[in-house]
Each structure stands twice: as structure tokens, then as C-alpha cells.
């Protein structure tokens, strides 16, 4: 496969349109074909366009834009709409390593181009005129030659040849080279990536999220890439943060509830629970669910139980807890202890009667 030597590509340092021969050919006073327009005149205008001279057709559309504000406003709205669309560089189907490299280089260049929005608006001038031409000014940065400025040029400066090739009106027609061909030595069979707007209609997220687990469970093999494309979810970049579900602490991690559950498991089967005991147990559960109660006692329950087991009186227990946790809210602690002792006493009396 023959390769193009990128060093032999000629980059014009000065804008081609500054040359005198282009000035003479291109910078002409525009005509106004809409003046005294007739069916016969329209026919001749379109025949000229079919034969490669689009000057009159372009000038007619320019007149329409200038004279009809409604059409001009509608066209401007259409041009601005593309700025709200996501875009992407699409590599050829089953791209090889070289083609993937070209796709990434093109994406990086456009993603870092500050004037991309202005370029897109200028390119949308092709709506109605049939095409648009932007003159590129190149600059060498490191090892890459990159276009740094894009200047819109009138459509009247160009014409089509018999092979539908757009030609600048110059004797030798010197043309610039695309970004990828300037910076990469390409073989003849290498396919270039394409730029496209993302106008896909995404599937309903809730419907797909509900259906996918069922399909996977029955053995349907669904590519991850297909899901990303169907829902228009971009692929994860290296080092990019992703959403994740917050892991909530299981209820059984609560030390008090774990102790109560263990004690309950050790109890022997009893007779039907009385109405009074049900009420007391509900009150006890409500007390243990108080956020401030758990917040204060959860971290210290083990040490507190150990200290109280070594004490022989309430006074010793209070002094031991105060020494362990001098910053603990004594009033709240006393209130909780009183409630716990009161509930325990009532439960003991109720069980004794039965």
C-alpha cells in the first residue's frame, strides 16, 4: 500500500484569497436576480446551477434572506439549534488501530477548538445556499499542523466542475489539505472517521431498566455497548467519577438491637403474650428508635455494660460512666436509664403475674 509522505504536504502560510488573481476572479459585485423575477428567468437560473454555475442561485437566496425577515429568522433559529446537540467522531466499522488513532486525534482537536460553535454556525450557512466554504489558517504547534482560524468566504467565489468537485476560481486551483492528512502518513486503504451530531431518539430509561434484568436472567446476551447507545449514556473515561448507590448501615448493626435480638433468641417459648406486655414492648421499641438515644449510646454501649457489671450500686455505676465519658449529656443519660429501668420493672411485674 502506498503511503503519503506528510512532510511533502504544502501548507500555505498566507490566505489564498489574498492573492491578486483570486481577488480579480472572486471579489465581484453581487447581482440581484430577484429583481423583475419571471418564470423564464427562474428556469435559466436553475439551468445555470445544473451546469455548475451556482452564482445566480446563491444570489437569489441571499436576496430572499435580506428581503423576508420571517425566512431569515427561521434560518437563524435552525442554525442556532445545532449548538444544543451533542456531537461525536465516529470511527469506521471494525476500525483497525490506525483508524482508531485517527478518530481519537480528530476528536481531541475538535474538543479543544475554542471557535467550534462559530464554525458550526458558519457551516450552517449551507442551508439554502447549497454549500459553504471556510478558509483555514494553519499553525504548527509541536509536531502537529492545526487550523487555528476559519474565515467564511462568499459562495460566489466558487463553482462546480463536471465531476461535482468544488473549485476555487483560480488558474491552478491550489487546495489545502485536511487535518488528518497533514499530520499522519496515511495508506491508500485507510478509512477516515466522520463527524456527526447525536440525534438519536433514546429509549425510555425506566422501561429498559425494568426489562434488562429479566432478559439477562433468561440468558439473553446483551452487549454493554448496545445499552450505552440505546440510552445515549457515554462511555466512562479513565479516572472519571461515576454515580453509585450509598450503602446504608443494616439495622442489625445497631449494638442495642443486636443485644436484644440475642436475648430474645435465648428465651424459652412462652404462652400468648398479654395485652399489657405488647404495649410495654411497643413503648420500648419506640424508645430505642430515638435518633439521639442511638447516637449517644451506640458507640459506648460495650464499655458502659462492662463498667456497670463491675459495680454494685447505682452510685458506683453513675461514677464509672461519668469517669469514662465526661462529655456525655448527663441529663439525657439519666432520663434514658430511668426509662429503661422503669420499663424493665413493669415488664418484670407483668411476667410475675402470669
Four-CA torsion 310, 315, 317, 318, nearest 10 degrees: -160
Is 70 exceeded by the pLDDT of residue 308?
Answer: no
Q: What is the pTM of this model?
A: 0.49
Query: What percent of the chain lies above the pLDDT cut of 70?
Result: 57
Phi-psi region of 308 (alpha: psi -120 to 50; beta: other; left: phi over 0): alpha
Phi-psi region of 52 (alpha: psi -120 to 50; beta: other; left: phi over 0): left
In this predicted structure, what is the pLDDT of residue 284?
Answer: 61
Tell me the pLDDT tens digit for each residue of 145-197: 888 888 888 877 776 666 666 665 544 444 444 666 667 767 777 888 888 88
In this predicted structure, what is the pLDDT of residue 27?
Answer: 46
Give the residue among 203, 182, 202, 200 at the shortest CA–CA distance from 192: 182
Band of pLDDT at residue 261, cut at 50, 70 and 90 = low
Is 60 exceeded by the pLDDT of residue 234?
Answer: yes
The DSSP secondary structure of 213-237, one letter per residue, reads: HHHHHTT----HHHHHHHHTPPPPP
Amino acid at each position: 500500500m502506498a503511503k503519503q509522505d506528510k512532510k511533502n504536504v504544502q501548507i500555505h502560510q498566507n490566505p489564498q484569497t489574498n492573492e491578486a488573481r483570486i481577488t480579480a476572479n472572486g471579489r465581484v459585485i453581487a447581482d440581484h436576480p430577484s429583481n423583475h423575477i419571471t418564470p423564464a428567468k427562474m428556469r435559466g437560473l436553475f439551468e445555470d446551477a445544473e451546469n455548475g454555475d451556482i452564482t445566480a442561485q446563491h444570489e437569489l437566496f441571499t436576496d430572499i434572506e435580506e428581503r423576508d425577515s420571517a425566512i431569515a429568522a427561521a434560518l437563524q433559529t435552525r442554525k442556532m439549534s445545532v449548538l444544543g446537540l451533542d456531537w461525536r467522531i465516529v470511527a469506521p466499522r471494525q476500525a483497525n488501530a490506525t483508524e482508531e488513532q485517527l478518530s481519537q486525534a480528530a476528536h481531541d482537536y475538535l474538543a479543544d477548538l475554542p471557535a467550534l460553535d462559530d464554525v458550526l454556525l458558519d457551516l450552517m450557512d449551507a442551508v439554502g445556499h447549497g454549500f459553504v466554504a471556510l478558509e483555514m489558517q494553519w499553525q504548527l504547534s509541536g509536531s502537529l499542523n492545526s487550523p487555528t482560524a476559519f474565515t467564511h468566504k462568499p459562495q460566489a467565489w466558487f463553482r462546480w466542475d463536471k465531476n461535482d468537485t468544488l473549485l476555487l476560481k483560480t488558474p491552478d486551483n491550489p487546495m489545502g489539505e485536511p487535518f488528518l492528512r497533514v499530520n499522519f502518513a496515511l495508506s491508500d486503504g485507510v478509512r477516515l472517521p466522520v463527524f456527526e451530531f447525536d440525534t438519536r431518539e433514546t429509549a425510555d430509561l425506566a422501561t429498559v431498566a425494568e426489562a434488562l434484568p429479566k432478559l439477562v436472567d433468561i440468558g439473553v446476551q446483551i452487549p454493554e455497548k448496545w445499552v450505552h447507545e440505546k440510552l445515549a449514556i457515554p462511555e466512562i473515561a479513565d479516572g472519571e467519577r461515576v454515580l453509585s448507590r450509598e450503602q446504608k448501615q443494616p439495622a442489625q448493626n445497631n449494638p442495642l438491637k443486636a443485644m436484644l435480638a440475642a436475648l430474645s433468641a435465648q428465651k424459652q417459648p412462652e404462652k400468648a403474650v398479654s395485652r399489657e406486655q405488647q404495649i410495654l414492648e411497643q413503648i420500648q421499641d419506640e424508645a430505642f428508635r430515638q435518633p439521639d438515644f442511638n447516637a449517644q449510646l451506640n458507640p459506648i454501649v460495650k464499655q458502659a455494660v462492662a463498667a456497670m457489671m463491675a459495680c454494685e450500686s447505682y452510685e458506683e455505676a453513675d461514677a464509672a460512666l461519668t469517669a469514662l465519658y465526661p462529655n456525655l449529656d448527663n441529663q439525657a443519660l439519666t432520663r434514658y436509664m430511668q426509662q429503661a429501668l422503669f420499663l424493665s420493672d413493669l415488664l418484670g411485674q407483668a411476667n410475675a403475674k402470669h
